[in-house]
Chains A and B, each alone.
Chain A
Amino acid sequence: MSAPVPRLTSGSDASDVLDIASPESAVEVATIKPPPGAPGGRVVGRSPGQLAWMRLRRDKVAMTAMWVLVFFLVVGVFADIIRMLYGYPTMNDARQGTDLLDGTGIPLGYLGGITFSSANSSGHFHIFGVEPSLGRDLFIQVIYGIRTSLLISFVSVTIATAFGVVMGIAAGYLGGWFDSIVNWVIDYMLAFPFFLFALAVIPVVNTHLTADNGSPSAGQRVLTIIVIFSAFAWMGTARLVRGQVLSLREREYVDAAKAAGARLPHMLFRQLLPNLWAPILVTYSLGVPLTITAEGALSFIGIGVVEPTPDLGRLISNSQDWLRADLPYLLIPGVTIFLLVLAFNLFGDALRDALDPKSSR
């Protein structure tokens, strides 16, 4: 039996509810009155990304952190240009800088040699002062140190995240023996004490990686550090992604794609991955500060990059000998690395809140 067709009885009048045009004209689509306050009077559908960006924009702390990060990135990427604008011909030029020090190596003047005039023996101003015992300009060391830190952390975290994502998705989707193996490997790698391992392995690797003059070049040292960091940073991402995939693979669109004959790579990277970008982005932005700190720590204990590659961790390590006589030598690189890591952490937290507002309740 079919449902009865509703019909208006001849006596009632529906015109106060619907603007129905008279039967003579073409059928018109009913217009919906816009809700009060909507811009432009039109409602536009928004993607999850745009919604997240809107939420992020409302968070003042996050926007400040973001601008700080952009500033550091610009400094890191354009370090050479900044140096040329500053007026220094090469990175490690001391330019008779030792004449800016007193007889025992401590910078003359205030706050570790900060001076804004060029009327001194190096013929240049020094907005952050000079390094004790060497007389090198500290501002140049800091901006190149930022570049070293950012380069190493971004490359390591990118590699680690990429590898972790692939492992996590594959393990979560395939299950079975592959999942067991990956889990076992993750547990094994997580059990390694990272710093002890780095302390043991990096000097040995450096001894083996000899250039033809008997020691690794700066590029080789950086590569070793990136490899070690990547090898130890992928596990967190893999586990997180695997957990997400375990729930996602039960969704209907996965079944639909499988029924349509999708092969494994398509399943992993075109069906599952686009739904995972939120947690991946968050772990990425929280992994970078961890790597920056770890790289600084490695240089602090002497197994990171060596002279003449500038490095914030090594600046802090050198400053220990000068605490009583030149405190700005510790404070300036220390505050720089602190701001960098803090900005990343705040931004990563805000990003997580923006992408998944349920998580903050």
Chain B
Amino acid sequence: MRYRARALVFTVLAVGLAATGCTKNTTGNQATVNPNDAVPIVIDTEGKAVTPARPIDGAKSGGTLYWLELAAPEHLDPQQIYVSDALDMEQLFFRHLTQYIEDPKGGKLQLVGDLATNTGVTTDGGKTWTYTLRDGIKFEDGSPITSKDIAYGIARSFGTYGEQGPQYLQNALDPDRKYKGPEAGDAPGVTTPDDKTIKFAFATAHPELPYVAALPTTTPVPKAKDSGAKYEAEWVASGPYMRDGAYDQTTKLNLKRNPNWDPKTDPIRNAYPDKIVLDFQGGQRADQTQRMIADQGNDQFAVATAAVAQAQIAQVQGDPALLARTGQGPTPFVDYININTSRVTDVKVRQALNWSFDRTAFITAVGGSAVAGPATWVMAPIVPGWKDYDAYKTADGHGDPQKAKDLLANATPKLTYCFANTATQQRYAVVVQNSLQRAGFQITLNPIDPSSYYTTIGDKTNTCDLMRSGWGQDFPDGQSTLDVLLNGEHIVPKGNQNYSLFNEPTINKKLDDLNALADRGQAAIGYGNLDQEIMTNYAPLIPTYTTRFFNLHGSKVHTFVSPLYAEFNLVSAWVG
């Protein structure tokens, strides 16, 4: 028994070595580089969107679709949803005033009226808006959805059950945030003259309202069914699917068809599968990759939410059958190393940091061009108006330490680099440290506990010189990136998102002017140019990489990558 076990162990090791280490790894396993591409947006102001939703070629109704995720989303209460995976799945059971139609062929995004007939009517440049609701819209229990339900949902978003969600609409309606929720009456600026009309009135012009209304802040909530904290599990569906059984908020959410959803009122959702299972115990990134590669049983009908594990990227790329089952494409996310401009005040030092940073080595550490594209700009490529430039261009992307040394005049500044203390971030931190030390910087690594990381760096008084963060836009407009990250007027003592504490009055004014422009197409061009100006003249951060989507799905799933949420699109997916 002992000897057999020993022999078995050695055999396994030998086989393992032979299978992995003893084959020569060559550079043949390179990723095919997809160019970063911006997706333009068409806004349907006149309500021309076609209902029911345009069909997908070859799609079949029926079957069960599975969604594998490592953990349940923190919130499914509509006014509390703010994370990209929840934003992708909530379209299955929630509707809002407006929503996007995504094109499976990667064409233009369309912003259309969802519960509303169009994306809103304004006659005074964005100070007042009017939305008319469609006919025949109902909740899952058959009761009609009225403008009062939407107004109640918006009122709710001001209170405790809207704290974690996006705050754009609330800040626009009530800049001083005096209104605290439905107990204090109706929300300021929101009126409902009749059951089919809802009007918004703002103190200043807000031309971006159609985008903001596409967030689940405007999901209708029936007042009688609002159970406060329990609404996380007891929400009332307005979309094509409803809860099938109870939702325990931890393990899985089963969805079945909502008989009271009328496809003729919905220009967006195809709703092909009969049932959907959202499995929140789908496993870690490595587990999900293994399951998708194995493609057994119900996994053939599943989509993975985690990217292909780094060790298996080469394997998937080398196998045409596996590659055919991947979703690839750009995501809204860009990672930065923010430079604390209140501590690193000399712009030459910041520019030296940008020159010295070895982006190519960093991308390899992240996993290569399959999962990360080099980022040399602040806005992600899918943001309208994105301009491709590199203010610190080197031929191979390895940085130019000599130029950095010249800018520093041979000084050796001591800086700390803060990051969340996870194994992956520790690895990346070593690359950052090595690449900056080539130019003479002395970098001290400062790992911070992950559960309090964003709270720590969001405190204006933190003592980090460099800190890593990531950002994905909340809606497809340059305002949702540049204005949030680089407008000095939005710096707050706690919960700050302008991590580089960048506060340049001329830039603040330019941003405010762009925010107020009624023509968003014009504004987009302006944001692109401003991005380049900020990085070239002020260098408040080092952009590192933009995440590229590279996930697997089962062999019987037919879907595409949602450019907005960096997950597989569920509303137009079909199985079979």
Chain A residues within 8 Å of B, Cβ to Cβ? 92-94, 96, 98, 101-112, 132-136, 203, 206-207, 212-215, 302, 306-308, 314, 317-318, 320-328, 331
Interface size class of B (residues with CB under 8 A): 35 or more
Stretch in B101-109, B135-143, B262-270, B308-316 touching the partner: B308-316
Q: How far is the CA of A126 from the CA of B17 in the complex (A)?
A: 18
Segment from B18-26, B76-84, B253-261, B528-536 that makes contact with A? B18-26
Q: Which of A94, A96, A320, A324 contacts B430 (CB 8 A)?
A: A94
User: Whose C-beta in chain B lies nearest to the C-beta of A322?
Assistant: B311
Q: Is B31's beta carbon under 8 Å from chain A? A: yes
B20, B430, B463: most-surrounded residue (chain A CB, <10 A): B20
A-B pairs, top 3 by smallest CB distance, nearest first, are: A98-B361, A104-B368, A325-B311
Query: Does A214 contact B448, Cβ atoms closer than 8 Å?
Result: yes
Contact check, B464 vs A214: say whether CB atoms are below 8 A apart.
Answer: yes
Tell me if B27 and A105 are in contact (CB < 8 A): no
Instruction: For the complex, give the distance between the alpha carbons of A96 and B311 in Å.
Output: 20
Chain A minimum-CB-distance residue to B313: A104
Residues of B within 8 A of A323 (CB): 311
Give the residues in chain A near B431, CB-CB below 8 Å: 94, 98, 134
Option from B29, B398, B463 in Cβ contact (under 8 Å) with A102? B29
Partner of B21, one of A94, A110, A213: A110
Residues of B close to A133: CB separation below 8 A: 310, 364-367, 427
Tell me whether B30 is interfacial, beta carbon within 8 Å.
Answer: yes
Residue on A nearest B422 in the bound complex, by CB: A302
Q: Is B433 an interface residue (CB 8 A)?
A: yes
- Does A307 lie within 8 Å of B364, measured CB to CB? no
Q: Are B21 and A302 in contact, CB atoms less than 8 angstroms apart?
A: no
Given the known inter-chain contacts A98-B360, A98-B365, A215-B447, please indicate yes or no for A108 contacting B26, CB distance below 8 A: yes
- In the complex with contacts A94-B361, A110-B21, A136-B430, A103-B311 CB distance below 8 A: no
* B interface SS class: mixed
| Beta-carbon nearest neighbor of B429 in chain A | A307
Of B13, B434, B446, B449, most A-chain CB atoms within 10 Å: B434
Min Cβ gap B362→A in Å is 8
Q: List 13 A-B contacts (CB under 8 A).
A: A94-B434, A102-B368, A103-B314, A103-B370, A104-B29, A104-B31, A104-B367, A203-B449, A214-B418, A307-B445, A324-B311, A325-B314, A331-B13
Chain B nearest CB: distance from A320 CB in Å?
Answer: 8
Nearest-CB residue, chain A, relative to B456: A214
- Who on chain A is nearest to B20 by CB? A327
Further contacts, 10 of them, CB under 8 A, given A104-B31, A307-B426: A98-B365, A102-B29, A104-B317, A110-B24, A111-B17, A134-B427, A213-B416, A213-B463, A214-B446, A215-B418
Q: Which B residues are in CB contact (< 8 Å) with A110? A: 21-25
Residues of chain B within 8 A of A93, CB atoms compared: 434
**B positions within 8 Å CB-CB of A:** 13, 16-17, 20-27, 29-31, 286, 309-315, 317, 358, 360-361, 364-370, 398, 416, 418, 421-423, 426-427, 429-431, 433-434, 444-449, 456, 462-464
**C-alpha spacing A307/B358, complex, angstroms:** 19
Q: A104-B29, A214-B418 are in contact. Are A306 and B426 (CB under 8 A)?
A: yes
A133 to B362, CA, bound (A): 9
Instruction: Please judge, given known A-B contacts A134-B431, A214-B418, whether A103 and B315 are in contact too, CB under 8 Å.
Output: no
Complex-state Cα separation, A10 to B23, whole angstroms: 98
The winner among B16, B370, B464 for most chain A CB atoms within 10 A is B16
Q: For residue A215, which residue of chain B has the nearest CB?
A: B446
With contacts A96-B361, A214-B446, A306-B426 known, is A103 near B30, CB below 8 A? yes
> Chain B residues near A111 (CB, 8 Å)?
17, 21-22
- Asked whether A321 lies within 8 Å of B310 as measured between CB atoms, the reply is yes
**Whole-angstrom distance between the alpha carbons of A322 and B416 in the complex?**
30
Highest count of chain A CB atoms <10 Å: which of B21, B358, B368: B21
For residue B418, which residue of chain A has the nearest CB? A214
A326 to B19, CA, bound (A): 10
Among B16, B25, B421, B427, point to the contact of A327 (Cβ < 8 A).
B16
Q: How far is the CB of A188 from chain B (nearest CB, A)?
A: 29
Q: Which residue of B lies closest to A90 (CB)?
A: B437
Chain A residues with Cβ below 8 Å from B445 are: 306-308
Kindly state the separation between the CA atoms of A353 and B312 in the bound complex, as whole angstroms.
50
Q: In the bound complex, what is the Cα–Cα distance between A255 and B410 (angstroms)?
A: 75
Determine whether the beta carbon of A307 is less than 8 Å from that of B430.
yes
Asked if residues A103 and B21 are in contact (CB atoms below 8 Å), the reply is no
Instruction: Please measure, in the bound complex, the distance between the C-alpha atom of A111 and the C-alpha atom of B30, giving whole angstroms.
Output: 19
Is B20 in contact with A92, judged by CB distance below 8 angstroms? no
Q: A133-B365, A215-B447, A325-B314 are in contact. Are A318 and B370 (CB under 8 A)?
A: no
Look across to chain A and name the residue whose beta carbon is closest to the beta carbon of B371: A104
Pair B423/A92 contact, Cβ less than 8 Å: no
Residues of B within 8 A of A314 (CB): 423
Closest to A114 in B: B21
* Interfacial chain B residues near A302, Cβ < 8 Å: 421-423
The smallest beta-carbon distance between A139 and chain B, in angstroms, is 16
A103-B369, A215-B447 are known contacts. Are A321 and B25 too (CB-CB below 8 A)?
no
For B361, list chain A residues within 8 Å (CB).
94, 96, 98, 135
Partner of B20, one of A307, A308, A325: A325
Question: Do A327 and B364 contact each other (CB < 8 Å), given the known contacts A92-B434, A104-B31, A104-B370?
Answer: no
Q: Which of A106, A136, A308, A317 contacts B423 (CB 8 A)?
A: A317
Residues of chain B with a CB closer than 8 A to A98's CB: 358, 360-361, 364-365, 431
* Complex Cα gap A316–B426 (Å): 15
Q: Which A residue sits closest to B364, measured CB to CB?
A: A98
A326-B427 contact in complex given A105-B365, A214-B446, A214-B456, C-beta closer than 8 Å: no
A108 touches B430 (CB 8 A): no
Report how far A94 CA is from B432 CA in the complex, Å. 11
Chain B residues closer than 8 Å to A317, beta-carbon distance: 423
> Are A106 and B433 also in contact (CB < 8 A) when A308-B445, A322-B311, A324-B312 are?
no
Asked whether A308 lies within 8 Å of B24 as measured between CB atoms, the reply is: no
Q: Residue on A with the closest CB to B362?
A: A98
Q: Which of B20, B315, B416 is within 8 Å of A326, CB to CB?
A: B20
How far apart sit A110 and B18, CA to CA, in the bound complex (Å)? 10
B463 touches A103 (CB 8 A): no
Interface pair A321/B20, CB less than 8 Å apart: no
Question: Nearest A residue to B450 by beta-carbon distance?
Answer: A302
| Contact assessment for A134 and B365 in the assembled complex, using a CB-CB cutoff below 8 Å | yes
* B361 nearest in chain A by CB position: A98
Is there an interface contact between A109 and B446, defined as CB atoms closer than 8 Å?
no
